[in-house]
Amino acid sequence: MRLTPKWSTLLFSAPPLQCRRGKMPATYEIDKQRRLVITTGLGRITLANALEHQEKLRKDPDFDPSFSQIMDLTRITEFALEANDIRRLAQGTVFSRESRRAIIASSDLVYGFGRMFEILREIAGENGIRVFRDLDEALDWILPKSTSA
């Protein structure tokens, strides 16, 4: 995740985060102190990759469904998902309905599919998902005001 000066000190002044890598083109870190999962998508993403990521997170002993999430998709080079794939991903979630989840997108395609996911989860009763183009705005929204830089 590319961090702006505003947030780099704040996010990484805590104890080192546990970085998990899988076969899929993504990493995730769990910051238990801030109750935050930071997911970074890399390269090509497919439905199988996304489902594998959900399952890996679900099985991680450090994961708590009430944590919030930053999903940085700005380093995706090929978004090999279609509308039906987004519908399938939106049918279930590993996060609680009270969690805040920020999707950061740099391309119009990823932004549009992120919004589709947000709307489908809202229909399912989850109102804590937002799509952003700016990391600072996403972090301002997701982190409690008491941790602001």
Alpha helix stretches (DSSP H) within 1-149: 5-11, 47-59, 83-90, 108-123, 135-142
**Single-letter amino acid, residue 67:** F
Model confidence at 94: pLDDT above 50: yes
Is the confidence at residue 135, as pLDDT, over 60?
yes
Q: What is the pLDDT of residues 105-125, one digit of tens each?
A: 999 999 999 999 999 999 999
CA 110 to chain centre: 13
> pTM of the full predicted structure?
0.83
At residue 12, does pLDDT exceed 70? no
In this structure, are residues 40 and 26 in contact, taking their beta carbons and an 8 Å threshold? yes
Distance CA 52, CA 72 (A): 17
Give the per-residue pLDDT at 19. 45
Q: How many domains does the chain have?
A: 1
18/28 Cα distance (integer angstroms): 8
What is the DSSP secondary-structure string of 116-145? HHHHHHHHTT---EEEES-HHHHHHHHS-G
Q: For the segment 21-72, what is each residue's pLDDT rounded down to a tens digit?
A: 444 578 899 999 999 999 999 999 999 999 999 999 999 999 999 999 999 9
- Angle CA 29–32–38, to nearest 5: 30
Mean residue pLDDT of the chain comes to 85
Enter the tokens of residue 137. Answer: 């705005």
66 by Cβ neighbours in 10 Å (0-12 / 13-18 / 19+) ranks as exposed
Residue-level pLDDT at 143: 86
Query: How confident is the model at residue 144, as a pLDDT?
Result: 72
CATH of the domain at 38: 3.30.750.24
How does residue 92 score in pLDDT terms, banded at 50, 70 and 90? confident
Domain span at 128: 5-147
Examine the pLDDT at 14 and tell me if it is beyond 70.
no
Q: Does residue 102 register a pLDDT over 90?
A: yes
